[in-house]
Amino acid sequence: MKNMKTIYIFGIFVVLALVQLFVPAQMIWGREKVLNEGASYKFKTRPVDPNDPFRGKYITLNYELNSAETKDTLWSRNEDVYVKLNKDSLGFAAVSKVSRSKFEVSDDFVKAKVQWYNSKEHKVNFNLEFNRYYMEESKAYDAERVYVESLRDSLPENDTYAIVYVKDGEAVLADVVINEMSIKNYVEKENKE
């Protein structure tokens, strides 16, 4: 009888353990799918450096793509908005359309949170959700500094962008590029010099 109880408890534990494994595994699986099968977009951006107590240092990315014209005026703060993407002449991501509902699966679109509606310009302002890029502890602050310096040095145009893979409305931030180099390597190079 007592053995039955142990087996019973152990059975529940096995189920729980599977759930505990499933949650991170599912996080990985979804992202891997987007990275492998999704379309890649470049988003112009600006990095700043906060941190998170357990997950470490990251940089927050402020995207230049943060508003879109729309006739819909009834946007409320923090509402979900779906942004359909296309590419501009230089290959950067641009807004094709925004909507409250998801687009067709064949379209490339991402989810964002509404900030406010600008009734003068008929524009809805939003925040893209993939704005967190984790970096090695020593590099996150430098990433922000290097970015500011790169602006001052030569380039009048912002040349920092994020590479984001998009599939079925899911987006995965894969890398941040500064002067055509991954920001990780760029910070390393700058630190050596």
Partner 1 sequence: MNSKFIKELTELVRNDIISDEVSKNIQKYYEGKQAATPNKLFVVFGVIGAALIGIGILLILAHNWDDFSRSIKTIIAFVPLLIGQLCVGYALLKKKGRTWKEASGTFLFFGIGISMALVSQVYNIPGDFGTFLLTWIVLSLPLIYLLKSNSLALLHVVFLTYYSCEYGYGFRDYNPSPWLYFPLVLAVLPFYLNLLKQYSTKNMVAILHWILPLSSVIVMGAFIKTEWEFLPLIYIILFGLIYNIGSSSVLKQERLRRNGYLVLGSLGTVILLLVMSFKDVWKELSFEVLMDTQEFYIVLALFVTVLSVMVYSINKSKEGHLNLFKYVFIAFTILFFIGITSPGIATIGVNVLVFALGIIAIKKGADGHHFGILNYGLLIITTLIICRFFDTDLSFVVRGLLFVVIGVGFFLANYIMLKQKNIK
Shortest distance, position 170 Cβ to partner 1, whole Å: 11
The closest alpha carbon to 62, from 118, 146, 128, belongs to 128
* Beta strand residue intervals within the chain, DSSP E: 39-48, 51-52, 56-63, 67-69, 80-87, 93-99, 109-118, 123-128, 132-134, 160-167, 170-178, 181-182
Q: How many CB atoms lie within 10 A of CB 141?
A: 16
Q: In the complex with partner 1, which residue's Cβ is closer, 23 or 74?
A: 23
Q: Is 136 in the site for partner 1 (CB under 8 A)?
A: yes
Q: In the complex with partner 1, which residue's Cβ is closer, 11 or 88?
A: 11
- Could you tell me which stretch among 47-55, 66-74, 89-97, 143-151 binds partner 1 (CB under 8 A)? 47-55
Q: Which residues pair with 66 in a beta bridge?
A: none
Q: Is 139 in the site for partner 1 (CB under 8 A)?
A: yes
Q: Is 4 in the site for partner 1 (CB under 8 A)?
A: no
Sole binder of partner 1 in the list 132, 149, 155, 189 (CB under 8 A): 132
**Separation CA 175–CA 165 (nearest Å):** 10
Shortest distance, position 156 Cβ to partner 1, whole Å: 29
Q: Is 52 in the site for partner 1 (CB under 8 A)?
A: yes
Sheet of strand 80-87: strand arrangement: 67-69, 123-128, 109-118, 80-87, 93-99
Contact characters 62-101, partner 1, x per CB under 8 A: ---------------xx-----------------------
Chain-centroid distance of CA 185 in Å reads 20
Residues contributing to the site for partner 1 (CB under 8 A): 6, 9-10, 12-14, 16-17, 19-21, 23-24, 27-28, 31, 52-58, 77-78, 129-137, 139, 172-174, 184
